[in-house]
Amino acid sequence: MRSRQAIQLGGPVMLVVVAALLGSVASTSTEGYFVNALISVSIVVALYVFVGNSGVLSFGHISFVAVGAWAAGVLSVPVEEKPAIMPYLFPFLRDHTVGNIPSLLIAAGVGGLYALLVGLPLMRLSGLAAGIATFGVLEITHNILRYYEKIGPGSNTFSSVPETTDLLQAAVGAILVIGVAFGYQSSRFGRLLRATREDPAAARAVGVSVYRQRLVAFTLSGALAGFAGGLYVHLLPLNTEALYLDLTFITLAMLVIGGMTSLWGAVVGALAVSGLDSLLAEAENGLQIGGLSVDLPAGTRIVIVGALMALVLILKPSGLTGGRELSLDRFRRPATKPQGESPS
């Protein structure tokens, strides 16, 4: 049914558009929150492409965001400024600088290539072994980016990257990522992979190669994550610590809270948690709500997001959206299965 597909793609895109429009009328100081939220959408949807469709947990996706950010960042810093902040670069990185769009494409390419290389051996694993191995990838990537100064700034902050990611670019980027994710999940590959998620034995029995399907999704997901990393490094000066455990936690939390088996869930989760997070960040700086002054101590944000994630997992493991795509059937036939929650 074409209309159903249109809604499944249209819903998430509309949410992104609404967030972008809200951001464009917001004050300059709050606009940053919206740009951040849109980048979170890109990262979480990238994570969803693999985790959601395959049902295999990955703690390693922030590695692909990180290499994407490194690739786009290193290649975007103007040549004359490179020696000052990255004195040990390889010559070919030192002598070349590309524009904004090429740098994002390169970020996607590097992210995808890295995911392919990592996935070739790792996709043979499943369950806990896969979880720990992807964690290992994150540790190794973080460790190398932090200390290997021939490919980036090492432990320093990535300064002097042109800050080209504005509201428009973040929104277009997020819509692009959603579009690719939707195209993938509607394709033959996406369907085969979801079949392996639902019943690996049955999928194998009809001739699906679990390994190959997971590898395809992992590579695509790595490319999207790399692209998101490119957008991210063009937004603000990053360092390796910003692309490590905390980001892994918060993006996984977004996916789980939204509902990790649907695109709709990934987008809803990313926007809902980002919205809450921004509100709490404001409250940490002191916020006035209707004459009531709220002033939360710094660090409250992660406590609340962590508690929320634990609560969702305990009370409703399928997430806010129930892990289903947006569909009008719910509203047409509310009697069959009442869904109490209203997304976002």
Partner 1 sequence: MSGTISLAVLGVDWQVLVDAIGLGAVYALMAVGIGLVFGVLRLVNFAYGQLIMAGAYALAFASQWSWPLWAAVPFCFAVVIALSLAMDRAVFRPLRTQSPAVMLVATFAIAFLLQSIALLAFGPLGKPASSLGYLNRPVTIGNVDIRKITIVAIVVAAVCLLAVVLMLERTTVGLHMRAAAMDFRTARLLGVNANRVIGSAVLVSALLAATVAIILTVQNPLVTPDFALRDTIIVLAGVVVGGMNRLLSATLGGFAIGFVTGLLGGALPTADSQYLPSLVFGLVILVLLIRPAGLFAKSGGQVERV
Buried (b) or exposed (e) across 223-248, using 16+ Cβ within 10 A?
Answer: bbbbbbbbbbbbbbebbbebbbeebb
Closer by beta carbon to partner 1, 25 or else 201: 201
Q: What is the closest distance, in whole angstroms, from the C-beta atom of residue 148 to partner 1 in the complex?
A: 8
Closer by beta carbon to partner 1, 24 or else 143: 143
Closer by beta carbon to partner 1, 172 or else 302: 302
Residue 288 pairs with which residues in a beta bridge?
A: 293
| CB distance 130 to 56 below 8 Å | yes
Q: What is the closest distance, in whole angstroms, from the C-beta atom of residue 130 to partner 1 in the complex?
A: 9
Closer by beta carbon to partner 1, 7 or else 254: 254
In 3D space, the residue among 241, 262, 240, 231 whose CA is nearest the CA of residue 37 turns out to be 231
Closer by beta carbon to partner 1, 60 or else 112: 60
At 257 the three-state DSSP class reads helix
Residue 287 pairs with which residues in a beta bridge?
A: 294
At 90 the three-state DSSP class reads coil
Residue 292 pairs with which residues in a beta bridge?
A: 289
Q: What is the closest distance, in whole angstroms, from the C-beta atom of residue 263 to partner 1 in the complex?
A: 19
Helix (H) / strand (E) element for 294: namely strand 292-294
Q: What is the closest distance, in whole angstroms, from the C-beta atom of residue 172 to partner 1 in the complex?
A: 31
In 3D space, the residue among 265, 228, 231 whose CA is nearest the CA of residue 341 turns out to be 265
Q: What is the closest distance, in whole angstroms, from the C-beta atom of residue 121 to partner 1 in the complex?
A: 5
User: Nearest 10 degrees: CA dihedral of 72, 250, 122, 218?
Assistant: -60
Q: How far apart are CA 236 and CA 239, in angstroms?
A: 10
Q: What is the closest distance, in whole angstroms, from the C-beta atom of residue 149 to partner 1 in the complex?
A: 11
Closer by beta carbon to partner 1, 76 or else 196: 196
- Output the DSSP codes for 148-192: -TTSS-TTS---S------HHHHHHHHHHHHHHHHHHHHSHHHHH
Closer by beta carbon to partner 1, 65 or else 122: 122
Give just the sign of the alpha carbon dihedral 190, 195, 197, 201.
Answer: negative
Closer by beta carbon to partner 1, 121 or else 290: 121
Q: What is the closest distance, in whole angstroms, from the C-beta atom of residue 246 to partner 1 in the complex?
A: 8
- Exposed/middle/buried for residue 328 (C-beta within 10 Å: 0-12, 13-18, 19+): exposed
Closer by beta carbon to partner 1, 79 or else 303: 303
Q: What is the closest distance, in whole angstroms, from the C-beta atom of residue 143 to partner 1 in the complex?
A: 4
What are all long-range contacts of 204-208, with beta carbons under 8 Å and residues at least 24 apart?
Answer: none
| CB distance 158 to 152 below 8 Å | yes
Residues engaged in binding partner 1 (CB under 8 A):
55-57, 121-122, 124-129, 131-133, 135-137, 139-140, 143-144, 146-147, 200-201, 249, 252-253, 256, 297-300, 302-303, 306-307, 309-310, 313-315, 317
Q: What is the closest distance, in whole angstroms, from the C-beta atom of residue 290 to partner 1 in the complex?
A: 26
